Structures are given as structure tokens and as C-alpha cells.
Amino acid sequence: MPTIHDIARHAQVSAMTVSRALNNRPGVSEGTRQKVHAVAQSLGYVANVQAKRLAGGQTNVLGMLVPDIGTEYVGEIVRGVGDALERSGYDLLLYTTHRDPERERARLSGVAGGMADGLLTVLPKTIDSHLSMLEQLALPVVIVDHRGANTSLPTIGTDNLTGSREAVQHLAELGHRRIGFVTGDLSTGAAVDRLRGYREGLRAAGLPFDEALVGQGDFYQPRGFEAALDLLRLPEPPTALFASNDVSAFGALAAVRELRLRVPTDVSVVGFDDIPSARQIHPPLTTVRQPLYEMGAAATRLLLSLLRGGEAAVPRISLPTALVVRESTAPAKGGHH
């Protein structure tokens, strides 16, 4: 199917103008509107517009753009969205981008061209390059876990800073003095905030920041494993590891086992997110709970409100985190508790 960009190129107008014309929104002259509709029809785009007209100008569908559906992280957010849509009269159209910028652009074009009345986008990979396109869509957009992007669009996120500080405070209170940290993908705001929270947590506990105790991760298990292995092989290894998300923490647990050490007797491990398998892994993981389900539900309620003509009272909503203590942390050997 042709995209909104194809129509824009043929009609020699901007993508935003095409979107407004196809959605019969104000801000487009009648001549331009007719031209866009003619080009859309010649490219075979007309079926979608007609279907929308039959429904009174609405699809009663919400689009949702996610990087994948294979992670528990995304699964929990989608569960919150689905429950919040119950009895709303809207269906959900789920698109996966597989973290591919081109696929993401094509999906955005489809939504902009009238396939949905509103859009939820989770962890947009190319948020900076596509931000202007998102902001110009002639339909409401809510970003879930924007990871620090600078945008005027309404966003639902979590308090990464406080969550990280509390994780470090917990380990310090258990007597740990050398606390290693596995970062996330530092091109994202969430990873930067969690690193900052780690540093602030050390300062609050009266512990020095040591660059050697920071391992570069990327939110995935293999890098979490490698980074934790490097930290545990230091001449003076950490007695505790704090990973930027649970999946990286699973890698850290494997690294501890690889070196024939035990969790939490020899090394304590803390994660971030509290995805369902954090409770099921052995030992059950101490982690910072990010309210993923609530983030999905809150984003959906906000989008439905915008569709009904409401305003985003608070453009950036940050939901609180909570430390969940399980069996992967214990007092440091020889430490005081």
C-alpha cells in the first residue's frame, strides 16, 4: 500500500498536509485537499479513505507501535493498554517495528494516512528523527517510555532516578561498599537517568564513584553477562551488582554462576523493571518495580481523553517506582547490616 510520503511526493506537498487532507482536518485549502485525494485515489489509496468515511470519519481503531512483542517488558505494557480499552468502543491495531527505522517510518505513514484515530508508540527507536513527523500527525499521539526524548507530545514514563537511588541505598544498607553497575543503552534517556541515580545513590551513602565499577550494557542479556563478568574479574571485584534492567540482571546472575560464585552469598544482584520472570528466576530477583501495566493503561486513558477533545493537562507523566526485595540480595560478607 502506498504511504503518506508517496502521496506527498506525487502531490508535491508535505506529509503533514497529506495527513490533514486525508483526515479532513482544518488548515488545508479546498484545492489542495482535492489534489491530495486525487493523487491518493490514483495510487490506490482510496479504499482506506472510503472505509473511514463509512464509519463517519472515524476508524474506531487505535494504532500501537512497539519494537517487538517477544519481551515481557512490552507484553506488560500491551496488557495494560488492552484492559484500559475494554468497553471503550475502540479496537487495537498492533504494529511491530523490530527496531528498524524504515519499518517504523512506514508504520507511522500508514497510521497518519487514516488507518487509526490515535497512536500509542512504545520506546520509539528513532524518536529524534521521527519526532517532527509524530508531532505533525493530524491525530492524537501518546509516547510510552519516551526515554528522555525532548518532545512537546504527551508522554508516560517512570521515575528512573529515584528507583536507581533506592536500589543503591538498599545495597549500601546491606553493607556493600563496592557496588558494580551494568548500564543500559546510553543513547536512551532512561539508561542515562539510571546511571545518574546510581551515582547519586553512592554519594548519598557516602561511597566513592569508581569508573572501573561501571560496565557497558545495552538492556540485553548477552551484554549484561559480559559486562558483569568483566566487573567480577576485577582485582578488587564488587560484592554487589546493580543492572539497568531485569534482562541484564539475568545476564549478571549467569556471570556469577560462571565464576562458581553464589547469589546472594558471594554477590548480591539487583535489576530494574520487575518483569514477571523476575519472580520466577532462581533466586527470585530483587528489583526496582517499574509500573509497566499502569504505564500502558494510563497512556490509553490519556489518548482516549484526547480523542474526546480533552487536553493533556500534564504533558509528561512520571509514575513512581518501588523497590521489591527478594532473595538475590543479602548482607555483604564481612559488611555491617
Q: Between 55 and 8, whose confidence is greater?
A: 8
> Per-residue pLDDT tens for 108-138?
777 766 778 889 988 665 555 566 667 666 7
pLDDT of residue 301: 93
Arithmetic mean of pLDDT, 165-182: 98
pLDDT of residue 147: 59
Residue/partner pairs of 19-28 with CB below 8 Å, 24 or more apart: 19/112, 19/113, 19/136, 19/137, 19/138, 19/139, 20/138, 22/49, 22/113, 22/114, 23/57, 23/114, 23/138, 23/139, 24/57, 25/138
The pTM assigned to this predicted structure is 0.78
User: 186: which residues sit within 8 A by CB, 6+ positions away?
Assistant: 192, 195, 216
Residue/partner pairs of 207-215 with CB below 8 Å, 24 or more apart: 207/172, 207/177, 207/179, 210/178, 213/178, 213/179, 213/180, 213/181, 213/238, 214/180, 214/181, 214/183, 215/180, 215/181, 215/182, 215/183
pLDDT of residue 41: 80
pLDDT of residue 47: 45
> Per-residue pLDDT tens for 240-289?
999 999 999 999 999 999 999 999 999 999 999 999 999 999 999 999 99
Decide the pairing of beta strands 61-66 and 118-122: parallel
> Per-residue pLDDT tens for 286-309?
999 999 999 999 999 999 998 887
Q: Which residue segments constitute the domains of the chain, with CATH numbers given?
A: 1-57 (1.10.260.40), 160-290 (3.40.50.2300)
User: Which has the minimum average pLDDT: 75-89, 196-210, 217-231, 318-332?
Assistant: 75-89
Q: In the chain, pLDDT over 70 holds for what percent of residues?
A: 86
| CA-closest candidate to residue 78, choices 61, 86, 66 | 66
- Average pLDDT of the chain to the nearest whole number: 86
The secondary structure of residue 71, as a DSSP letter, is S
Task: Report residue 168 as a C-alpha cell.
Answer: 543503591
pLDDT for residue 55 is more than 60 = no
pLDDT of residue 54: 47
Arithmetic mean of pLDDT, 75-84: 94
pLDDT of residue 174: 98
